Structure 1
Amino acid sequence: MAKKPLPGQLLFTPEVSSYQPESFTSQPLASHLGLLDKKEDVPVSGRRYRPLRWLVMFFSVSFILIGLLLVGGAVYTKQRFTGSAEFHWAVWLSLLSGGLLMLAGFAGSFGVGMRSFCVVVSTALFLAIIVAAFLTTTLIIKDEMVNACQEVEVALRLAIVNYNPNDRATTYDLDTYQRRFRCCGANSPADWLATSFQMIPDSCPHPIDLRRGCTVVITAYVKKMTTYVIIVLGTLTGYLFLGFLAIAFLAWVHYRSRL
């Protein structure tokens, strides 16, 4: 027989609900208080950005090689040749540019290898400065080419006036130019007869070409060599800019991964 319930006793036992708010069981309380809302830094990894990392690594290694070529060429030129103050400035500029490119290459390689956001961003900013410096140098050389061509005749006439056969310091440069370019005088061999020397030096080619002065020949040579230098610097500047774009994009990808 079923027992009769006592007064005040329920006819059934209520089931204890197992429901608990998910928000309080899946995460600690600190996360609901806004203390753990920030994401941790996530490095750029996986196959998605692997081609970009390899591209930046390629640019970085090439920057190191180009820097070595600039430094080696500058050292070789300084040991084998002599020249004016502008020549020495060009040599030191090549040394500095090569060193900066090598530094940018090593920094880029380290940033890609370690996947460091700070190093990649610093490399991008540093490379932007190098690109601006190369572009400025190219424009300056282009302007200086015009001035140099205009000053060739003035420099040659001054060298002819100061020419002294008994003083090698006053004859070496001019004799070297006349032998190398097979020219004589500033505009013609007659320039020598208008000076106190009043004779044509042995450095002039034989037989003497009365129409072949050194001004036209040297000016054409300066224009030709300067054009080559501008083309090389312009191409190198464009290549550096492409490398800057690749490294800047990688820095942006790192930044997005940190959001």
Structure 2
Amino acid sequence: MSHYSKAEQDDWLTIYLKYLLFVFNFFFWVGGVAVMAVGIWTLAEKSNYLNILASSTFAVSAYILIFAGSLVVITGFLGFSAVVREQRSCLSTYFSLLLLIFLIELVAGVLAYIYYQRLGEELKQHLTQTLTENYALPGKAHITHSIDRLQQDFQCCGSNSSTDWQQSAYILSSESGARVVPDSCCKTVTFECGRRDHPSNIYKAEICGMILTCFLHRRLKMESY
């Protein structure tokens, strides 16, 4: 009788563990879908900003998110199969993939912590260089459009401040039409509104660099999860 009771308890424990693993795997799978969606959204909605980022590393990060999300989704499906079929081989493979994902997360988290500050400084420096050397120049229409959209979307002017534009090749040229900043710096964009550098006219938030740095930081954190 006691032997039967122990076997019955083992059965209940097995059922409990199955449901617990099923619930865990469901949230794990949803997380993978979310990470993959962020990567796809980044490519679809933020591709214009990639023209002014410091290197292809930032564009590749979106693909890394998609790959990581896909790996988690596939692992999640394998987990569902392992729970339903109760096959040891599936459970072993599922455990191995979970361990691999954990190690990747650990390495990504360490690298993100180590390189975040350096990448942030490189990003701000490259953005300032792009403003001064490439804006509104022949063959640089895609960069010009990206900078204009960035300043309007985030309501800012320049990388560190609006004075970044004082050394711009465009502002110093006759093509600027005596503008002190591009028209995209204006709170209300009108033709040649950039001629008047006044607090009521020009965005003084001056946070483009910070926004891009925070955007990078968030993406690095996503890679580590």
TM-score (norm 1): 0.61
Aligned residue for 2:192? Answer: none
Aligned residue for 1:129? Answer: 100
Give, in whole Å, the separation in 2 of the partners of 1:184 and 1:115: 59
1:215-256 C-alpha deviation (Å, 9 max, x unpaired) = xx134324544555566666x5xxxxxxxxxxxxxxxxxxxx
Aligned residue for 1:191? Answer: 164
Query: Which residue of 112, 118, 123 maps to 2:83?
Result: 112
Q: Does residue 185 of structure 2 align to residue 204 of structure 1?
A: yes
1:198-223 C-alpha deviation (Å, 9 max, x unpaired) = 24221122564489474xx1343245
- C-alpha deviation, 1:177, in angstroms: 2.7
Aligned residue for 1:52? Answer: 17
Give the letter for the 2:26 counterpart. V
Give, in whole Å, the separation in 1 of the partners of 2:128 and 2:113: 25
Give, in whole Å, the separation in 2 of the partners of 1:69 and 1:109: 18
Give the letter for the 1:143 counterpart. I
Contact persistence 1:178–1:205 (CA under 8 A): no
Q: Does residue 194 of structure 2 align to residue 221 of structure 1?
A: no
- Secondary structure at 2:40 match in 1: helix
Query: Which residue of 136, 143, 151 maps to 1:164?
Result: 136
Give, in whole Å, the separation in 2 of the partners of 1:165 and 1:226: 27
- C-alpha deviation, 1:190, in angstroms: 3.5
1:168/1:175 Cα in 2 relative to 1: closer, same or farther (>3 Å)?
same
Greater Rg by CA: 1
* 1:64-75 alignment, distance < 5 Å: 64-75=29-40
Aligned residue for 2:190? Answer: none
Contact persistence 1:164–1:171 (CA under 8 A): yes
Query: Which residue of 125, 149, 165 maps to 1:176?
Result: 149
Give, in whole Å, the separation in 2 of the partners of 1:191 and 1:220: 14
- C-alpha deviation, 1:94, in angstroms: 1.6
- C-alpha deviation, 1:121, in angstroms: 1.6
Aligned residue for 1:243? Answer: none
Give the letter for the 2:77 counterpart. F
Contact persistence 2:65–2:223 (CA under 8 A): no
- C-alpha deviation, 1:91, in angstroms: 1.9
Aligned residue for 1:81? Answer: 46
Give the letter for the 1:136 counterpart. V
Query: Which residue of 123, 130, 138 maps to 1:152?
Result: 123
Contact persistence 1:185–1:213 (CA under 8 A): no
Equivalenced residue count is 190
More helix by share: 2
Q: Which runs of 5+ in 1 are unaligned?
A: 1-43, 237-259
- C-alpha deviation, 1:99, in angstroms: 1.6
Q: Which runs of 5+ in 2 are unaligned?
A: 1-8, 173-178, 188-196
Give the letter for the 1:218 counterpart. C
1:191/1:94 Cα in 2 relative to 1: closer, same or farther (>3 Å)?
closer
* 1:11-26 alignment, distance < 5 Å: none
- Secondary structure at 1:49 match in 2: helix
Cα RMSD, aligned residues only: 3.1
